[in-house]
Structure 1
Amino acid sequence: MVPGGRVPPPPMYRPKPLQSRPPPRRPRRSVRGWCCVSCMWLIVVLVGLVFLGAIAAGVFYVVYHPQLPTFAVTSLRLASLNISDSDAVTSRIEFTVTARNPNDKIAFAYGDIAAAFSADGGGIGDGVVPGFVHPPGNTTVVRAAATAEALTVDPVQAAALRSRKSHALSAQMDGKVGFQIGGFSSKRINVRVTCAGISASLAKPEPAAEAPAPAPAHTRHSPPRGVGGAKMTTTDAKCKLKVKIWIWTF
């Protein structure tokens, strides 16, 4: 009660406004989940490619039965070898390389092959074996020469070259080769051929042949033989072939 006998009106009730609830959020896939799925598919694809490659390699091996070619230095002639007082080597080496292709359906195509000869721990001559095509089941003989012009060597090697009459030589040949099957030609890969066990002495020129006596007019005779240096001597050098594909060597 308030003075005057009047009753104040009751306070007005105002309902509180309803707060709107935010819509429920959908769960998002984490970045880690996407990475796991991508890695899984990548692994599946790589395994599939490896599996298909293994099948193709197996079929290729069964059909063609590929074999590596073989190389040998079958003859060599040390035409000249001079060592100056300043330990400079001047030389000429004539040699023959015999390559054999044991495959029946695979041919090889070689580019120019760089050949380097060494003796007593150092190089004594460099040369180039010209490139060639090696048909299936074929034996190819290639002749080449290696030379050195005033090549400075170590004094120890120079002394060894002066003191020895017979020299133990080794050869290293680097080049590129590709194989051919029918009309298909592959890209060329690096190959290295190393040969050891070559023994050579400085060649001596053959004495001049005496002039033959004049033959009667009614007889036939063969032409006289030409006068030249010493002939090339056969060798039993053992050569190893290494094939390098990217970072792998076989």
Structure 2
Amino acid sequence: MTKIIEKVPPSTKPPTKPPTPTTTNGPPPKPATVTTAATNVSQKFPPSANGNRPYQRLAAHYDGCHQPHGGSCCTCRCCCLTIMWTTFIIATLLLLTAITATVLYVLYRPRPPSFSLSSLKITNFNLTSPLQFTSNINISIITKNPNEKITFYYKPINVTILDYHNNHQNIVIGQGLIPKFIHNGKNTTSLFGVIKNNSSNTNPIDDISFGHLKFDLNKKNHGRLNLKVEMETYLKVKIGDKLKSNWFKLRTSCNGIKAFAYNGKLNGKVDIDGAKCKVYLIIKCFEWDISI
């Protein structure tokens, strides 16, 4: 029995297009997610109208030098180099400063000036009322420059005399000014000043301070004031012939001064035998004052 095989010609009908997605009320289709194996970065692309995926761009390949957000390790290297050079320059400057200071100390052996009270005499002390408080005090100060090749330059010295007590704050009883001067090496200089107070126009005192002063002066057989002298000025140091420093603040405090009172009034005698003066050099470092 013979089998007849018929050959069917190929169809000339074009292939049918895939059905387009219909619009429904439900949520839109989720975009396709493509994961690249080289960078392990996920990228999302929405489907096209014909259902085919668009051209997929691979994420830029980067190693440890190039950052994905536009930066690079060159910036990090520049920052590191800047920090290293800044640290090196600061360390070098500090080292040179230390070496210079050591050489100057070995060559000149610098020492600070010294201050001491030579005399202190009260010529007027009227304590009638807070608004009628006047004082007049003559003071003599001796300062010594122990250095041979170092010269000190002083701006005007502000002198303040205070009464201090353990139970109340310091009370200013007089203020004055000593003119500026130059203190050469291996030299002793005597300074004179008039310390005054006029409560009506210079330094008024309150009722509490007035009461403390009255109490200290009216003690039976023990009336006295414990005085303290404070001096503040600016100092410049000249080493040798050309080397000069900046201006430094110089503060001096003298304690142990006793002014005795009789019948509630001070006489001219003031005991300065136990007076001791300390000198403080104030160096400005950024926003801090360092006392040495």
Q: TM-score, normalised by structure 2?
A: 0.64
1:86 Cα deviation after fit: 3.9
Unmatched segments (≥5 aa) in structure 2: 1-6, 10-59, 67-71, 165-169, 261-265
What SS class does the counterpart of residue 72 from structure 1 fall into? Answer: strand
- After superposing on structure 2, the runs of 4+ consecutive aligned residues of structure 1 that deviate more than 6 Å are 23-26
CA contact (8 A) 2:254 2:277 kept: yes
Residue of structure 2 in register with 1:38 after alignment: 82
Deviation at 1:25, TM superposition (A): 7.5
Question: Are residues 1:194 and 2:253 paired?
Answer: yes
Deviation at 1:130, TM superposition (A): 1.5
The answer on 1:203 being equivalent to 2:267 is yes
Greater mean deviation of Cα atoms: 131-140 or 179-188: 179-188
1:208-243 CA-to-partner distances (Å, cap 9, x unmatched) read xxxxxxxxxxxxxxxxxxxxxx8x876442011111
Secondary structure at 1:84's aligned position in 2?
A: strand
Corresponding position: 1:248 with 2:290: yes
Q: Secondary structure, in 3 states, of the residue corresponding to 2:267?
A: coil
What is the deviation of 1:195?
0.5
- Secondary structure of the residue aligned to 2:116 is strand
Match of 1:178 among 220, 226, 236: 236
Give the whole-Å Cα distance in 1 for the aligned partners of 2:162 and 2:130: 19
Which one has more relative contact order, counting CA pairs under 8 Å at least 6 apart?
A: 1
Of 64-73 and 114-123, more deviation after overlay is shown by: 114-123
Distance 1:158 1:112 in 2: 30
User: How much is the aligned-residue C-alpha RMSD, in angstroms?
Assistant: 2.8
Match of 1:133 in 2: 182
Q: C-alpha displacement at 1:118, in angstroms?
A: 0.7
Among all aligned residue pairs of Structure 1 and Structure 2, give the percentage whose two residues are the same amino acid. Answer: 27
Query: 1:156 aligns to what?
Result: 211
Which is worse superposed, 162-171 or 139-148? Answer: 162-171
Say which SS state the counterpart of residue 67 (structure 1) adopts: coil
Does the aligned pair in 1 maintain the 2:256–2:272 contact within 8 Å?
no
> 1: distance between equivalents of 2:214 and 2:147?
46
Give the deviation of 1:155 after TM superposition.
3.5
Alpha-carbon separation, structure 1, partners of 2:62 and 2:205:
82
1:137-178, Cα deviation, whole Å (9 max, x unpaired):
111001101100023242432323441543221011111010
Deviates more, 1:140-149 or 1:193-202: 193-202
Distance 1:96 1:233, change over 3 A: farther
Contact 1:73 1:98 in 2 (8 A): yes
CA distance in structure 2 between the partners assigned to 1:41 and 1:183 by the alignment: 32
C-alpha distance 65-86 of structure 1, shift in aligned 2 (>3 A): closer
Q: Counterpart of 2:136 in structure 1: which amino acid?
A: R
Aligned residues: 209
Q: Match of 2:224?
A: 166
- Aligned counterpart, 1:144: 193
Change (3 A) 1:88 1:161: farther
Q: SS where residue 152 of structure 1 aligns?
A: coil
Q: Distance in 1 between matches of 2:276 and 2:253?
A: 8
Distance 1:109 1:53 in 2: 23
Tell which structure's C-alpha radius of gyration is larger: 2
1:9-48 correspondence to structure 2 within 5 Å: 27-28=65-66, 29-30=72-73, 31-48=75-92
Partner of 1:225: none
Cα deviations by residue, 1:70-126 (Å, 9 ceiling, x for unpaired) = 101121001111111346421011000110111111010101010110114311000
> Per-residue deviation at 1:41?
1.6
Mapped to 1, the partners of 2:191 and 2:76 lie a distance apart of 62
